[in-house]
Amino acid sequence: MNIHKYKSQSNNKTNNNNQLKPKPSPKTNPAFTIIEVVLVLAIAGLIFLMVFIALPALQRNQRDAQRKRDIDRLYSAITRYRSNNKNTKYLSLDSYNDSGAGFVNSYLKLDGDSFEDPDGTAYSFAGDSSSGYTYEDDAYILTDFNHNIYIFNNTKCDGDKAVSSDSSNYSISYKLEGGGSYCLSGTGLNISTSSAQPVSKTSTNSLVNT
């Protein structure tokens, strides 16, 4: 009899203890602690900062990639010009004379194509009479991002520099927005240029042999 009484009292104590335990509530168990909120905000801010820094660099690299493709187009156009003109050894890229205008319109602006920098500024052909470069140790080193396409006769490319070479060689060089220059070498041609004249300011004349 005493045993049953003891068990009954123990059960009553257990039930009472269960009743005394507070039930979970939003007030006593919040979904997020202050530390968790601060941590989430810090991570979000870090991601935003990374995007803010990386996006301009990505866009700059994309523009430079397009500039390289444009210089490749020019190089290919010059090669086609020579082939179509019995391997001529002379080409004028002066934007204000008939020959230069004809070359641009016949080889670079066919079928409505444009030939301008990705930022919308017209390219300009320039030579060693222009500014925007230094000449050190028999090498032309571009210093200014100025939308000038430099063509140096009697040179060849050595990395991103145009260095002195045989009289039949030439280099096409362009200063990139992200740093450095893009340089391509050619041979068998002497190319004259005006002093930084925008390519867009050309006449509508075109070359006969296209």
Query: DSSP letters along 158-173, please?
Result: ETTEEEE--TTEEEEE
The two structure tokens encoding residue 20: 């005394």
What integer is the mean pLDDT of 27-37?
A: 69
Range of weakest confidence among 9-23, 70-84, 101-115, 140-154: 9-23
On whether the CB atoms of residues 187 and 168 are closer than 8 A, the answer is yes
pLDDT at position 206 over 60: no
Assign 155 to helix, strand or coil.
strand
Considering the domain boundaries, does residue 20 fall inside one? no
- List the alpha helices (DSSP H) in the chain: 2-20, 34-84, 98-103
Considering the domain boundaries, does residue 51 fall inside one? no
| Residue recorded with tokens 């939003």 | 26
How far apart are alpha carbons 127 and 142 in whole angstroms?
Answer: 11
183 pLDDT band, cuts 50/70/90, is: very high
| Residue recorded with tokens 């140096």 | 152
Determine the residue type at 91. Answer: L
Range of weakest confidence among 47-61, 151-165, 166-180: 47-61
pLDDT at position 108 over 80: yes
Select from 181, 198, 195, 199 the least CA-distant residue to 128: 195
Considering the domain boundaries, does residue 7 fall inside one? no
What integer is the mean pLDDT of 110-130?
A: 85
Considering the domain boundaries, does residue 61 fall inside one? no
14 pLDDT band, cuts 50/70/90, is: low
Domain range for 133: 67-198
How far apart are alpha carbons 108 and 132 in whole angstroms?
Answer: 24
Q: Give the pLDDT of residue 111.
A: 73
Range of weakest confidence among 1-15, 73-87, 182-196: 1-15
Number of structural domains in the chain? 1
From its phi and psi, is residue 91 left (phi > 0), alpha (psi between -120 and 50) or beta? beta
Q: Give the pLDDT of residue 38.
A: 82
More confident residue, 114 or 138: 138
163 pLDDT band, cuts 50/70/90, is: very high
Considering the domain boundaries, does residue 163 fall inside one? yes
pLDDT averaged over every residue in the chain: 80
Considering the domain boundaries, does residue 4 fall inside one? no
What integer is the mean pLDDT of 60-69?
A: 96
* C-alpha to C-alpha distances, 94 to 32, 57, 60, nearest whole angstrom: 69, 34, 29
What is the end-to-end Cα distance of the chain in Å, rounded?
Answer: 119
* pTM for the predicted model, two decimal places: 0.70
Considering the domain boundaries, does residue 11 fall inside one? no
- List the alpha helices (DSSP H) in 93-150: 98-103
Considering the domain boundaries, does residue 40 fall inside one? no
